[in-house]
Amino acid sequence: MRERLLMNRNWLFYFGEPDYKRPKPTSSDQTYHGSRAENARGPARRDFTDSDWKTVTLPHDFVNENGPSPDCLPGEKHGYPLDRGSAWYRRYFRLEETDRGKRITLLFDGVATRCEVYVNSMFFKLNRTAGIGFEVDITDAARFGTDYNLVSVHVDCHDYEAWYYEGGGIYRNVWLIKTDPLAVDLWGTFVRSKQLDGNQWQLGVETKVRNDYYSDKTAKVISRIVDPSGETVAELVCDTENFFAQAVTTVYQNVLLSDPALWSPEICNLYTLYTEIVLDGETVDDYQTTFGIRELRFDPDHGMFLNGKKTVIYGFANHQIQVGVGNAMSDSMREFQLRTIHDIGGNGFRTAHSPHGPATYDYCDRYGLMVMDENRIFQPSDTVKDEVRRLIKRDRNHPSVIMWSLYNEEDTVTHETGKRIYRRLACTARELDPTRPISGATSYGMFSEGADEDYDLLGINHQTMNFPALHHAKPDKPLYSSEMVIPLGKARSFLGSDIVPGQDAHSTELEYAIGGYHFTAWAFGSDRGRIFACDGTPRTIAHGFRAYLKQDEPFVKICPGWNHPEKEGQKVELNIANNGDYVELFVNGTSRGTVKTDLYTITPFTTLYEPGEIQAIAYKDGKRWAEDTARTSGEPVAIKLVMENPSLKDDNDDVAIISAYLVDDGGNWCDTETGYPVHWDCNCAGEYVSSVSIRNDGYMGWHGPDTTFFEGKVQAFFRSLAVDQDLVITAETEGLPKAELVIRRDKVGAIPAVTEVPNNFILDWRISKLYPYTMDDEQVMKERQIELWEHIDTQGSPDILYGALPGRTGPGLYPAGTSMNYAYYSCTMIPDMGNKGGKKLALFFEGLDGIANIVVTDGTKTAQGHHPANSPWPGHYRPEMVVDCDQFKPGDQVEIWVFIHDAVRITGIGWPVRWAFMTQQEIDEVAEKERREWALHTYKG
């Protein structure tokens, strides 16, 4: 059955490019081995010294961690360099003997940006974009038991693919997935829905099944559909399907549903598809898909209809960033950002300007946010077409996704080149999803003739004031604003022209307009932002949108409050966000007058500032509709802690978002106080991740647990660990009582995860000088001149014989036939590899050629081994060697000596050496294998 294990913890990380031993040109065998299957070099190899690397937990953004550079201008990169450098990640993991025969894959949800994936010293995958995830099938290179596996990931961020902050590193989850060789392919299901007559809906279920067996298989595909209440409403069985070997086959199933529960932004009904693969009477795979049933129709004259109802999108966009952690967002951070959009009445979300993490779409499904799902790179290459395919396959079951966007602001779209690229990518998308419209975010040449002739929808960035002209010029194209930048508020200038207040909102109210997406909801730098600040603090415009988009819900808000230091007796400008007919203001109980509500300007109001209390009362239809009160804060006397998450799981992955506020003795937020240092801490149920605050200097790098209040607020992130107790978070600043927040978490337990295993390779080998004629092993160990020995790699035989004997390299230093000898040395600690399970501790040489004596000692106990001869055909056999070391235990510091006698051209340690658990039978089988190999070399027939 399918296993899906999270692989986020205990990655080893190195920023930059570590030094390593290169193959020596004087050793033909090292060059030869370096061209074979396990040809990875340096940190991509299994036996590479990484003991001094730091340990990190994913998601991880090393660009954010490094912080901005003082040499870089703020700009859209917010002080981060275009060249963000490169880095390496390494992770050891174990596969059990019971995993043999399974298909083993790694699923990377996202890596920024260009990355190479190596497994067990073999190159497996090149991925070039940060937005969409990818799968790596490692089945053929998988190792089992204490023959551990090593995945190495090289991330190259020297170049950029985005104009905005894009981070770097493994910035989303990594999963280890085990399945039967006959299983549902990655993102391999697709449920289409179509309304027939009346309340009858047809569901088409497509299931892509991959057969990684080496023979054809006949199996059943069972698809069970469960409605939002948990009731099974259909079960489809295909029991005669033939699946060809090493191929992917698509199974098609159909069913009619009567009066299903439809998905809409108002009621987010979600169904579940459970898929089973039954082979020879046994269920070998189970796969789960969440989907929704809904119908979209776009009309160039009347806009969009969802399930037959006229629906206007008023959405928002965000980059995939949380200031404080960069791109390394937790699912809870995604939820927080999307919830704030939902709470102010937004019903749409644009993934600006690339695919977002998988959880984004889950939350959009649940919050009713209609998604404009966007591709990053606009090119016709096979690489980009594959990225588009992955985007479509991953997201096509989400009912919230209502369109695909192939680009953002590409200037080639007005030329024949761009038209051809669009057509090619659109065809690629339609192969996998013919049900959704395809579009792009156009900023250049929107009036150009024929530029958008192939578009299903015409998306326009910024210029909503041109909607009437566009509708006139292109009357057959449904029209929406892919990027709105003129929010509610007072009149302003745009591109040198005066714009009416709330221009974008006015434009979305046109009969033919589909709506649009405001750019952006959250600030993507550490500043106040126009709508939400980088810590989620709502600004005046957010409250204005709340009033405008939820006009049936009573609301009034005094913006920005009633703290205006040093302005006593002076006029202050307020905005009274409200959705009444008019609003009256009182300062310290005295009316300051009324003003008619203007939803588009957020009702400006100017009055004299007088510390104390201000009250706003909104009226509708002559009746009291809503009210709000704000007070002038006094001196801070306490810290108030608030968890922004609706709930928190104790699963080793969820992240608590904790806001800290300075408050006075009345509980009022002291939002003008800056400079109070604060120290964060938590108990063993959590671990500190990072923090964020609104800063005037634009700094958005990684913060330690000691941070500073800005404008009375600071926010911190804590990972919630699988510990059976409450999470307790504290914040402390000098002169104020320590604040404590006790969080009772959802008891779900740790997400099934890949267990950490130690590095069990012998890494730091040294090699002696040559000992011509004879070598006394005991004397060499007594002399211990190892500080003079050269550090050496173990990929291929050493070059120690180069130039020693007469031959192609010259006359040689010694006569032909001279016996040549040398030795290896390493000092290492035996790792804790867990329960031996009745096996023995062994030192395993994956390749040791030549006549050799092996000594393993801790100064008291000694284990010895002997390799009896050179290979019959030197250099064309990989003789393995095992030394029984069961007298030692984890934590023992041991010395390993390997003495090579009568060396020939290719001898010595040419492959990795590691600790292993082996049965006596397995040890004997290694020796027997070598004896059998050598015997066959002498067989004459």
Average pLDDT over residues 457-469: 95
For the chain, what percent of residues have pLDDT higher than 70?
Answer: 98
d(CA 387, CA 376): 9
d(CA 711, CA 526): 13
Nearest partner of 585 among 571, 575, 600, judged by Cα: 575
What is the average pLDDT value for the chain, to the nearest integer? 94
Decide: 640 and 739 in contact? Cβ < 8 Å. Answer: yes
- Helices and strands, counts by H and E, the chain: 11, 57
Decide: 422 and 411 in contact? Cβ < 8 Å. Answer: no
Helix, coil or strand: residue 513: strand
d(CA 605, CA 426): 50
Question: Does residue 448 surpass a pLDDT of 90?
Answer: no
Decide: 666 and 632 in contact? Cβ < 8 Å. Answer: no
Average pLDDT over residues 397-407: 98
Question: Does residue 344 surpass a pLDDT of 60?
Answer: yes
Can you read off the two tokens belonging to residue 42? 């340096």
User: For position 464, what pLDDT does the model report?
Assistant: 94
User: For position 440, what pLDDT does the model report?
Assistant: 96
User: For position 874, what pLDDT does the model report?
Assistant: 58
d(CA 552, CA 309): 19
Query: Amino acid identity of 218?
Result: T
d(CA 497, CA 185): 53
The Cα angle at residue 698 between residues 697 and 703, in degrees rounded to 5: 95
User: For position 78, what pLDDT does the model report?
Assistant: 76
Residue predicted with more confidence, 230 or 525 = 230
pLDDT tens digits along 873-909: 655 577 899 999 999 999 999 999 999 999 988 899 9
The CA distances from residue 92 to 125, 552, 752, in Å, are: 18, 56, 17
The CA distances from residue 394 to 295, 331, 429, in Å, are: 20, 17, 12
Average pLDDT over residues 728-732: 98
End-to-end CA distance of the chain, in Å?
Answer: 48
User: For position 33, what pLDDT does the model report?
Assistant: 80
Average pLDDT over residues 700-715: 83
In which residue are the tokens 């149920």 written?
Answer: 685
Question: Does residue 492 surpass a pLDDT of 80?
Answer: no
Nearest partner of 131 among 354, 365, 434, 298, judged by Cα: 354
Query: What pTM was computed for the model?
Result: 0.96
Question: Does residue 357 surpass a pLDDT of 60?
Answer: yes
- H or E segment and range at residue 819: none
Question: Does residue 939 surpass a pLDDT of 80?
Answer: no
Tell me the β-bridge partners of 494.
Answer: 497
Helix, coil or strand: residue 427: helix
pLDDT tens digits along 164-178: 999 999 999 999 999
pLDDT tens digits along 43-72: 999 999 999 999 999 999 999 999 887 777
d(CA 95, CA 426): 41
pLDDT tens digits along 742-752: 999 999 999 99
User: For position 697, what pLDDT does the model report?
Assistant: 60
User: For position 450, what pLDDT does the model report?
Assistant: 75
Q: How many residues does the chain have?
A: 941
Show the beta-strand stretches assigned E in 322-369.
348-351
User: For position 699, what pLDDT does the model report?
Assistant: 55
Nearest partner of 615 among 599, 602, 601, 632, judged by Cα: 632
User: For position 876, what pLDDT does the model report?
Assistant: 59
Pair type for strands 458-461 and 479-484: parallel
User: For position 873, what pLDDT does the model report?
Assistant: 67
d(CA 616, CA 549): 20
User: For position 495, what pLDDT does the model report?
Assistant: 72
Can you read off the two tokens belonging to residue 546? 């709340």
pLDDT tens digits along 519-548: 999 998 877 778 999 999 999 999 999 999
User: For position 36, what pLDDT does the model report?
Assistant: 85
pLDDT tens digits along 359-376: 999 999 999 999 999 999
| Range with the poorest average pLDDT among 284-293, 297-306, 446-455 | 446-455
Could you give the residue ranges of the DSSP H alpha helices within 433-521?
Answer: 467-473, 503-508
User: For position 932, what pLDDT does the model report?
Assistant: 85
Q: What are phi and psi of 219, to 5 degrees?
A: -150, 165
User: For position 728, what pLDDT does the model report?
Assistant: 98
Helix, coil or strand: residue 845: strand
User: For position 691, what pLDDT does the model report?
Assistant: 93
d(CA 171, CA 192): 32
Average pLDDT over residues 629-656: 98
- H or E segment and range at residue 625: strand 623-631
Q: What is the DSSP string of 185-201?
A: EEEEEEEEEEE-STTEE
d(CA 156, CA 86): 4
Based on the number of CB atoms within 10 Å of its own CB, is 859 exposed (0-12), middle (13-18) or buried (19 or more)?
exposed
User: For position 557, what pLDDT does the model report?
Assistant: 98
pLDDT tens digits along 769-790: 999 999 999 999 999 999 999 9
Query: Amino acid identity of 691?
Result: S
Question: Does residue 935 surpass a pLDDT of 70?
Answer: yes
Q: At what angle do helices 416-432 and 382-395 cross, to 10 degrees?
A: 40
Residues 6+ apart with CB under 8 A from 223: 205, 207, 234, 235, 236, 237, 253, 273, 274, 275
pLDDT tens digits along 17-50: 999 888 888 888 888 888 888 889 999 999 999 9
Decide: 556 and 596 in contact? Cβ < 8 Å. Answer: no
Query: Amino acid identity of 744?
Result: R
CA 351 to chain centre: 15
User: For position 230, what pLDDT does the model report?
Assistant: 98
Residues 6+ apart with CB under 8 A from 725: 683, 684, 685
- Binned at pLDDT 50, 70 and 90, residue 634 comes out as very high
pLDDT tens digits along 279-300: 999 999 999 999 999 999 999 9
